[in-house]
């Protein structure tokens, strides 16, 4: 019997003329190949499934973690002992251009927020861009609600870039910064982004801020969301810092927030003597 070398097996010829049988019967080779492919088709998927199951078991066995903000930092509720309120450019001239919220509502909300902060002992920082210039002074209702609180005049667009504003925030030693501003996408968003980069935990108060079009509002909100900066509203921020309705300051806080339904509840409570 003549055995073929590998080169000869490719042509099935020996010496170019005679044909010799292969070293193993064809049927045996076919059966061997079929078994090989069968094992490959069955064993490999089973191995993958087993590995996947092990991964799932490992993941499910891992302890649950606290919910996190998009930035990856743990999200915590506002604390009155760790919060400072920064109000940026609530100025008469800028109010005339606000279009995304009724200016009467905006005025009400920012004043209510300032009063609430004052009641809870939260530091309030007020700043204005060149109040003696084109944008005019801070709205009088706000300054009246914060007697003794100076308005920091500045020329920088980003309030955080002003050394006096920055020093005032740093002096409080607080890390949670509530910010409201006109306009939302600049005067509130710019310092919020800078504060985030500096290691603070900023939150923007949407309904105590205003801007000049719906498009600008959308831009501001998307930018804040992309940076993982939470957005809240004035009343939610107030009750978040209050924490409990059994707090001795609760009734005054609700009065400061000036929510009609809450005022009615307190009136009924007082009338009943309970």
11-25 pLDDT per residue, tens: 333 344 444 444 444
Average per-residue pLDDT for the chain: 81
26 vs 223 pLDDT, higher one: 223
* Residues forming a β-bridge with 179: 86, 204
What percent of the chain stands above pLDDT 70?
69
pTM over cut 0.85: no
Give the pLDDT band of residue 266 (cuts 50, 70, 90): low
pLDDT at residue 74 in the model: 54
3-state SS, the chain, equals: CCCCCHHHHHHCCECCCECCCCCCCHHHHHHHHHHHHHHHHHHHHHHHHHHHHHHHHHHHHCCCCCCECCCCCECCCCCCCCEEEEEECCEHHHHCCCCCCCHHHHHHHHHHHHHHHHHCCCCEEEEEECCCCCCCCECHHHHHHCCCCCEEEECCCCHHHCHHHHHHHHHHCCCEEEEEEECHHHHHHHHHHHHHHCCCEEEEEHHHCECCCHHHHHHHHHHHHHCCCCEECHHHHHHHHHCCCCCCCHHHHHHHHCCHHHHHHHHHHHHHCC
146: pLDDT strictly greater than 50: yes
Domains of the chain and any CATH numbers: 1-67 (no CATH), 83-257 (3.40.50.850)
Q: CA 77 to CA 243: how far, in whole Å?
A: 9
231: pLDDT strictly greater than 50: yes
DSSP state of 81: T
Q: CA 222 to CA 217: how far, in whole Å?
A: 9
Give the pLDDT band of residue 92 (cuts 50, 70, 90): very high
Positions marked active-site: 187
| Average pLDDT over every residue of 52-63 | 36
């Amino acid at each position: 019997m003549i055995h073929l070398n590998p080169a000869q097996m490719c042509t099935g010829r020996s010496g170019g003329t005679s044909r010799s049988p292969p070293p193993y019967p064809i049927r045996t080779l076919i059966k061997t190949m079929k078994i090989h492919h069968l094992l490959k088709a069955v064993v490999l998927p089973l191995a993958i499934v087993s590995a996947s199951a092990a991964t799932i078991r490992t993941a499910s066995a891992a302890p649950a973690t606290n919910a996190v903000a998009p930035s990856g930092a743990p999200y915590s509720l506002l604390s009155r002992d760790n919060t400072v309120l920064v109000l940026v450019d609530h100025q008469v001239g800028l109010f005339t251009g606000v279009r995304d919220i009724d200016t009467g509502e905006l005025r009400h909300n920012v004043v209510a927020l300032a009063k609430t902060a004052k009641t809870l002992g939260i530091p309030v920082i007020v700043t204005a861009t060149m109040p003696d210039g084109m944008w005019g002074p801070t709205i009088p209702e706000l300054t009246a609600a914060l007697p003794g609180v100076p308005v920091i005049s500045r020329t920088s667009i980003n309030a955080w870039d002003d050394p006096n504003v920055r020093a005032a925030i740093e002096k409080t030693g607080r890390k949670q910064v509530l910010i409201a501003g006109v306009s939302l996408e600049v005067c509130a968003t710019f310092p919020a982004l800078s504060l985030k980069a500096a290691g603070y935990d900023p939150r923007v108060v949407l309904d105590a801020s205003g801007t000049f079009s719906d498009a600008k509002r959308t831009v501001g909100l998307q930018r804040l969301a992309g940076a993982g900066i939470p957005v809240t509203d004035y009343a939610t921020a107030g009750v978040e810092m209050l924490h409990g309705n059994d707090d001795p300051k609760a009734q005054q806080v609700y009065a400061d927030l000036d929510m009609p339904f809450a005022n009615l509840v307190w009136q009924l409570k007082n009338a009943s003597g309970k």
